[in-house]
Structure 1
Amino acid sequence: MELSEMTTFCLSEVSETQWIQKIHDSRWPNGFCCPKCSARHSYTIRTRRLPLYECSACGTQTSLTSGTIMEGSRTPIRLWILAIYLHSKPEGISASRLTRIIGTTYKTAWLICHKIRHAIAHSDQSQLLQGLVRINFAQYGHPYNPTVFRHPQEQPLLIGASMNAAGEFTHIKIKQAVEECSYPQFTCPLDKFPFIRKHVDPQATEIVAVTLKYSKDRNKSLLRICQNASIWINSTFRGIGAKHLQAYLDQYSYGFNMTVLKQDAFSSLFNLSMTTSALPYPELIRKPNIQPKLRLQYAHYLKNAS
């Protein structure tokens, strides 16, 4: 379905009932299953905006959206589906643009966007790099910085990729280098082992990691992917700070991997959204700033240098 057709369909009231049925079928493809006692029969309560399923064996009531990223949301289902569809497109969508399309407040649209990215990030945790693995230093942000001190707008990254025998990347991960920075205030080689422990299969055939910024052995293809990710983030979202950068890097990696695998990104993202629990708004905004002191350290250096 084309973007204009999908948008028109989701914005119509008729689509709400159809999407409710699709969510039901996605959650329980073999019929309802009680999360408490595993009974297969339920009574449907339709007095609410969304159907509620009451187990005929133990009486437990289960919401249609419980255990999904939509749990507790008052936004109509059809608008959630449209948001998921727009996030599955290669160009992505910003919260401000989503606000104009679905007609919600900016806060609601921002929360929807980050809950969808949370589903992507949650799935990414279980998909490890395998076989021939290549890891390279990268960065987000390219401020003019002639010193050994890291500029506050310069975010060090590590990009890892599974590679086939033909030298083609089949799966990528781009991660902020938080644990890997032994001295966060300096531009220095990164520690590769935290990334390998978290994101590489222990049975990987071969691991080659280049963690020095200007190494002659750096993989230019991986660097080009990170540059494209930076261009996408800057053009679509007008730049992102360190606090939420990882969510956008995960979204870019997801889109890249779906393209390489030639899979239906919308169907995949729809299923992820139906199997990932919601991330509450307070938890999203409580994310720590991973480099709170860098700006002060850099300012102190410039003052002394002058």
Structure 2
Amino acid sequence: MENSLTFEQFCDYFNKESTCIDALFASRWPEGFRCPRCQHAGYYFIRTRTLPLYECQSCRAQTSIIAGTIMEGSRTPLRLWFQALFLHAQPNGISALRLSTLIGTTYKTAWLMCHKIRHAMSSADSKVLLSGIVRINCGVYGRPYNPTIFRHPQEQPLLIGASLDNEHQVTHLKIKQVSDRHLVHDRVTPLGSRLFIRDHVSPETKDIDTVLLKFSRNRHRQLIQIGEQASAWMNYIFSGIGPKHLQSYLDQFCFNVNLRFHPYCFNVLLTYCASFPTLTYPQLTGRMDLSAQRRITYHEYLRSA
């Protein structure tokens, strides 16, 4: 589905559940049905429910079209899910309040849909590692409140990493919230940067440069500007984000940047949502607040350096 479509044109195209079912089937099983239990290709099509079931001809397991996707367990019609995906695939995304108005659901339903979609974005991005020319710089969400080293509670330290091409243009972006365990006041410890490299940079990468000091003359200004853009985007679209769910919004910003030149963002996002299991409401509300974790002491910082 091309990015050039308007929301109205998109709704006209996906105005029936059957059309959405066909598109979701193609995204979930692009090479044809495979039983989730035994990988057998043959199936019986069962039409007695609102959403079809696929019964494996080998092991007889029955699979719903939304089982194993972020939509599993949802009673929201697929066409509304598709509308939400289309709006999230746009460059600026959408807030839950605005989404609930446009697709006609309650705010709670729209809020949960938004977070499930961001969960798919995060899950897909976790499988892609930075490589080639990699630059990493510290950043902050929330304007600096203090001219000293002491951190204001609303300042959320970040690490911003990017793969660059030979012209030093960003080809892939990752922005990660830093746990308080890897901070001394507002400074990211060397251990924190090593963990970022371990988790988000390909082991074969040789050209890595990391700047952890805010006012280093070697800091990567391009990455600092991207961090400022992410902060401005979250403040404008969502009126500010607390630390508990900050990472999922950062992942959405990175999704928008990484696919900014892709002609079929909706198709990519639909594939993500068809490939990863759902995030339940208890899992979502039970997320750990990174700012609530124990802060590292100065002596622990010296030992990690």
Unaligned runs of 5+ in 1: 295-306
Q: Which amino acid counterpart does residue 269 of structure 2 have in structure 1?
A: L
CA distance in structure 2 between the aligned counterparts of 1:282 and 1:180, rounded to whole angstroms? 25
The DSSP-based 3-state class of the residue aligned with 1:196 is: helix
Residue 254 of structure 1, CA deviation: 0.9
Contact kept in structure 2, 1:133 and 1:163, CA below 8 Å = yes
Contact kept in structure 1, 2:35 and 2:41, CA below 8 Å = yes
How many pairs are equivalent?
288
Corresponding residue number in structure 1 for 2:272: 272
Q: Which amino acid counterpart does residue 196 of structure 1 have in structure 2?
A: I
The DSSP-based 3-state class of the residue aligned with 2:88 is: helix
CA distance in structure 2 between the aligned counterparts of 1:292 and 1:118, rounded to whole angstroms? 22
Compute the RMSD of aligned alpha carbons. Answer: 1.6
Corresponding residue number in structure 1 for 2:137: 136
**Moved beyond 4 Å, runs of 4+:** none
Corresponding residue number in structure 1 for 2:7: 3
Q: Which amino acid counterpart does residue 125 of structure 1 have in structure 2?
A: S
CA distance in structure 2 between the aligned counterparts of 1:273 and 1:76, rounded to whole angstroms? 15
CA distance in structure 2 between the aligned counterparts of 1:262 and 1:61, rounded to whole angstroms? 35
Contact kept in structure 2, 1:68 and 1:278, CA below 8 Å = yes
Corresponding residue number in structure 2 for 1:117: 118
CA distance in structure 1 between the aligned counterparts of 2:144 and 2:219, rounded to whole angstroms? 20
Corresponding residue number in structure 2 for 1:290: 290
Q: Counterparts in 2 of 1:130-209, with a 5 A limit?
A: 130-178=131-179, 181-183=182-184, 186-191=185-190, 192-209=193-210
Change in 2 beyond 3 A, CA 1:179/1:128: farther
The DSSP-based 3-state class of the residue aligned with 2:187 is: coil
Corresponding residue number in structure 2 for 1:303: none
Q: Which amino acid counterpart does residue 118 of structure 1 have in structure 2?
A: H
Residue 16 of structure 1, CA deviation: 1.3
Residue 168 of structure 1, CA deviation: 1.3
TM-score, normalised relative to structure 2: 0.90
Residue 282 of structure 1, CA deviation: 0.3
CA distance in structure 1 between the aligned counterparts of 2:84 and 2:37, rounded to whole angstroms? 31
TM-score, normalised relative to structure 1: 0.90
The DSSP-based 3-state class of the residue aligned with 1:291 is: helix
CA distance in structure 2 between the aligned counterparts of 1:79 and 1:293, rounded to whole angstroms? 38
Q: Does 1:18 align with 2:22?
A: no
CA distance in structure 1 between the aligned counterparts of 2:149 and 2:32, rounded to whole angstroms? 61
Corresponding residue number in structure 1 for 2:223: 222
Residue 115 of structure 1, CA deviation: 0.5
The DSSP-based 3-state class of the residue aligned with 1:172 is: strand
Corresponding residue number in structure 2 for 1:48: 49
CA distance in structure 2 between the aligned counterparts of 1:187 and 1:35, rounded to whole angstroms? 46
Unaligned runs of 5+ in 2: 295-305
CA distance in structure 2 between the aligned counterparts of 1:293 and 1:58, rounded to whole angstroms? 47
The DSSP-based 3-state class of the residue aligned with 2:268 is: helix
Q: Which amino acid counterpart does residue 42 of structure 2 have in structure 1?
A: H
CA distance in structure 2 between the aligned counterparts of 1:206 and 1:95, rounded to whole angstroms? 40
Q: Which amino acid counterpart does residue 283 of structure 1 have in structure 2?
A: Q
